[in-house]
Structure 1
C-alpha cells in the first residue's frame, strides 16, 4: 500500500504544480468545464460550479479549446491553436495545454475510480 500512497501523493503534487503554472483563473475554469462535459460531480468550491459570465476573450478561447479537446482532440485546428498566441506567451500556451491534457486524464481517472464498487460490495469477489 505504501507504493500506491506514494504514487497518489506524487500525482497530486504533479497536478498542483501544473495548475500553478497556468495564468490567471484558467486552471479551475479548465477543470470545471472538463467535469461538466464528462458529466461528473462538480466541486462546489470552484466558483459556484458554473462558468462565470465575465469570461475574457482569452478565457473563452481556452474554454473553447477545452471543449474541443474533451469532445475530439483531433478537431483542434492549427488556426484555432494559433489564436492562443494573441493572448499567451509560448510558455503560457504550453502550461495551459499541459494542464488541459493532464486534467482531462486525471478527471477521467477519478470518474472511473469513483464508479468502482468498493470491495465489500463487489459480488464478483465473493467465495462460494
Structure 2
C-alpha cells in the first residue's frame, strides 16, 4: 500500500503553531507583526550577500553559507506563519502565481530578456 508524501508546508505550519503555542506567542503573531518580521529576516538574508560581486557559491565561505541557510529558514518559517494567519494556502497561491507569470511572460517573447512585462 502506497501513501502520499506529507505536505511539508503543512508540517511546517503545524510545527510553527506548536512552537508558538508552547511559548504563548500566538498573541504576538498578528499578520502585521509577521509581515514585519518577515521583512527583517529578508534584510538579514540580504546582508550575507552585501558587498559580494555576485553572491555565487565560490564567493561564500562556510560561515556565510550557514548564515544564509539560517536566514532562509527564518524567512520560510515566517512566511508559513503569515500564510497561516491570513488563511492563504501557500502552495496553491504559489502555483496560481506561477500560472499567472507564465501568461504575463510568454517564453517566446521574454526568453533571455530581463525586462519587466510592461517594458517590451
Q: Quick check: TM above 0.5? A: no
TM-score w.r.t. the length of structure 1 is 0.29
Higher Rg: 2
Structure 1 or 2: more helix by fraction: 1
